């Protein structure tokens, strides 16, 4: 089913766009319903205090719809993305028959990460974007400067991550190259070679983790500065009420939670970029294993 196509996230989307679009649409619908629940809870409380049950029934209906959609999406997801993994694995195995078993085994595992991105990271990113938009719009209603601070924070985050993208790519390349040797190394039954291989993987994992921690720390510092600025600005320039200050901080923090998804997704994309280059390259066994 993937014959003649490059094995990339884009090609998988083009080939399976109908089934993937259904699960993503359900994800967006689930996100919207989840976002609306606090609003309906407020309406229900006001209605019950006045002995009216219409809004309470609406709340129950929304929660029921959320339950049905949430469960149905997860059942559907498992089957759709499971099928994509099978097709991708079959294609990778068929195109890699000239490579060593160790390399093929590693690349099938790497290929599954492309599907994992479509199943998990992409929907999380969509949810994050919806939350970011809602937060920015609400902050703008209090004062444009609050919204511009949020948008400026996102721009700085993206610039900051771009400075580390090539480094992440190189580290993932080294890690994947070492992982391709694992089956052959284990087949030698030589403790010293196995130990060297595992220690090499550990070193690369530590380097990746340290870089991710540094980037996360810088981005989190940036986001905390954003929240602090919005608190100061709201207290100094916005009509001061307890409710206003609470709303500004609540939506600023909601923005922070959603924004933290961005570096995670970008780090995942750096790894996927290397994987897509690797599994689509035509190299011989000696080059792959040297």
Considering only 73-77, 95-99, 188-192, 272-276, which range has the smallest mean pLDDT?
A: 95-99
pLDDT score, position 240 = 63
Phi, psi of 3 (to 5 degrees): -60, 135
Q: Is the pLDDT of residue 202 over 90?
A: yes
Q: Kindly list the domain boundaries of the chain, sorted by start residue.
A: 1-95, 128-290
Q: At what angle do helices 165-179 and 101-116 cross, to 10 degrees?
A: 140
Q: Is the pLDDT of residue 45 over 50?
A: yes
- Reduced to 3 states (helix: H, G, I; strand: E, B; else coil), residue 119 is helix
Q: Is the pLDDT of residue 288 over 50?
A: no
How far apart CA 255 and CA 151 sit, in angstroms, is 10
Q: What does the pLDDT look like over 208-251, one tens digit per residue?
A: 999 999 998 999 999 999 999 988 988 887 666 766 777 788 88
pLDDT band at 101 (very low <50, low <70, confident <90, very high): confident
Q: What does the pLDDT look like over 4-40, one tens digit per residue?
A: 678 888 899 988 999 999 999 998 898 888 877 877 8
pLDDT score, position 214 = 92
Q: What is the DSSP letter of 53?
A: -
Contacts of 126 (CB under 8 A, 6+ apart): 24, 27, 28, 31
Q: Is the pLDDT of residue 199 over 90?
A: yes
pLDDT score, position 28 = 87
Contacts of 236 (CB under 8 A, 6+ apart): none
Greater confidence (254 vs 211) lies with 211
- CA dist 193 → 182, 185, 190, 259 (Å): 10, 7, 6, 43
- Please say whether the beta carbons of 35 and 258 come within 8 A: no
How far apart CA 83 and CA 14 sit, in angstroms, is 15
Mean pLDDT taken over the chain:
86
Q: Is the pLDDT of residue 1 over 70?
A: no
pLDDT score, position 3 = 66
How far apart CA 115 and CA 85 sit, in angstroms, is 6
Residue 169: how many CB atoms within 10 A of its CB? Answer: 15
Q: What does the pLDDT look like over 126-179, one tens digit per residue?
A: 888 888 888 898 889 888 999 999 999 999 998 998 899 899 999 999 999 999
How far apart CA 284 and CA 198 sit, in angstroms, is 24
Tell which CATH architecture fits domain 128-290.
Up-down Bundle (1.20)
- Both tokens of 49, joined, read 């205090």
What are the helix (H) ranges across the chain?
A: 9-15, 17-49, 54-95, 101-116, 122-142, 144-162, 165-179, 182-187, 191-237, 242-259, 261-279, 285-289
- Both tokens of 202, joined, read 């550990």
């Amino acid at each position: 089913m993937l014959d003649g196509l490059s094995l990339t996230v884009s090609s998988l989307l083009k080939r399976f766009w109908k089934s993937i679009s259904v699960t993503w649409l359900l994800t967006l619908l689930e996100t919207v319903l989840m976002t609306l629940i606090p609003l309906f809870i407020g309406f229900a409380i006001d209605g019950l205090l006045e002995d009216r049950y219409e809004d309470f029934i609406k709340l129950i209906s929304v929660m029921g719809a959320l339950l049905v959609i949430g469960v149905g999406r997860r059942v559907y997801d498992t089957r759709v993305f499971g099928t994509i993994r099978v097709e991708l694995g079959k294609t990778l195995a068929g195109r890699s028959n000239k490579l060593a078993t160790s390399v093929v085994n590693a690349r099938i595992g790497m290929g599954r990460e492309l599907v994992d991105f479509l199943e998990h990271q992409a929907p999380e990113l969509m949810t994050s974007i919806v939350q970011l938009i809602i937060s920015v719009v609400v902050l703008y209603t209090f004062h444009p400067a609050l919204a511009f601070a949020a948008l400026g924070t996102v721009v700085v985050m993206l610039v900051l991550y771009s400075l580390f993208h090539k480094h992440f790519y190189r580290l993932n390349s080294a890690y994947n190259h070492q992982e391709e040797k694992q089956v052959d190394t284990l087949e030698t039954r030589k403790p010293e070679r196995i130990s060297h291989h595992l220690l090499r993987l550990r070193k690369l994992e530590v380097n990746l983790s340290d870089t991710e921690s540094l980037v996360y720390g810088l981005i989190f510092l940036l986001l905390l500065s954003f929240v602090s600025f919005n608190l100061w600005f709201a207290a100094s320039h916005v009509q001061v009420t307890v409710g206003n200050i609470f709303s500004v901080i609540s939506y600023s923090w909601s923005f922070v939670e959603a924004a933290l998804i961005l570096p995670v997704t970008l780090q995942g994309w750096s790894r996927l970029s290397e994987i897509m280059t690797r599994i689509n390259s035509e190299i011989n066994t000696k080059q792959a294993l040297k």
